[in-house]
Amino acid sequence: MSKIFSSTKGNNISDKTINRYIEYLEDAFLISKVARYDIKGKKYINSPYKYYFEDIGLRNARLNFRQVEENHVMENIIYNELKVRGFIVDIGVVNIYDYDKNGKRILKNYEVDFIATKGNNKYYIQSAFSIDNVDKLEQETNSLNNINDSFKKIIIIRNNIKPRKDEKGITTMGIYNFLLDERSLDL
């Protein structure tokens, strides 16, 4: 049975129609669909895709500049730059088992914003608008710290900072460094 969505004007729209509209937007190069990849299981996950706008200005104009969420805009810009640089870009998923307060084993899912791959080069990239406290830093590094391979792990933040590495080998750099230096991922 087909799911029905109700629009704000009370019209019913089937999921088949919505999928067709999304395909039209992809075919017109207005949006890009990005698959999710299980990093530990080394396979693609058949779960909801993420979509990014090819032109962030068109997105903002269509929304009449009402929803300018800087963190989402920055993530979209990073995605577009990775594509321009010739990378294959996926969304990473890291599943780990942990224990809750009662000692019960639970599965936790962490997302890596981007897995950027070109040839033998692979980078795990987090987009973090700001890291202004220890909790935010932990949130952004949880997924990266649970990846057990030797590919480079990077956090890109809005602040204009020079690239620096922490004790676990995670590089943090500013968005301007990333955008203005094509070799920034290898610094």
Q: Could you report the average pLDDT of every consecutive run of 10 residues in the chain (187 residues)?
A: 58 84 88 91 86 82 72 92 96 90 90 95 94 88 92 95 92 95 89
State the pLDDT at residue 81: 97
57 part of a folded domain: yes
What is the model's pLDDT at position 1?
37
Q: Specify if 68 maps to a domain.
A: yes
Residue 160, in any domain of the structure: yes
Structure tokens at 6: 């109700």
3-state secondary structure of 43: strand
Contact 38, 62 (CB under 8 A): no
- The pLDDT of residue 92 is 93
119 is a domain residue:
yes
β-pair type (88-99, 105-118): antiparallel
- The answer to whether residues 54 and 29 touch, using CB atoms and an 8 Å cutoff, is yes
- Does residue 89 form part of some domain? yes
Q: What is the pLDDT of residue 8?
A: 64
Q: Measured between alpha carbons, how far is 141 from 10 in angstroms, rounded to an integer?
A: 43
**Pairing relation of β-strands 88-99 and 31-38?**
parallel
* 27 within domain boundaries: no
Domain extent for 82: 32-186
User: In 3D, which of 37, 38, 35 has the Cα closest to residue 48?
Assistant: 35
Give me the pLDDT at residue 187, please.
76
Contact present, 126 and 156 (Cβ < 8 Å): yes
Indicate which CATH number applies to the domain containing 114.
Answer: 3.40.1350
Query: Residue 57 is encoded by which pair of tokens?
Result: 């200005």
Does residue 125 belong to any structural domain of this protein? yes
Q: Does 159 reside within a domain?
A: yes
Instruction: Give me the number of domains the chain comprises.
Output: 1
pLDDT given at position 9: 65
Residue 41's pLDDT is: 84
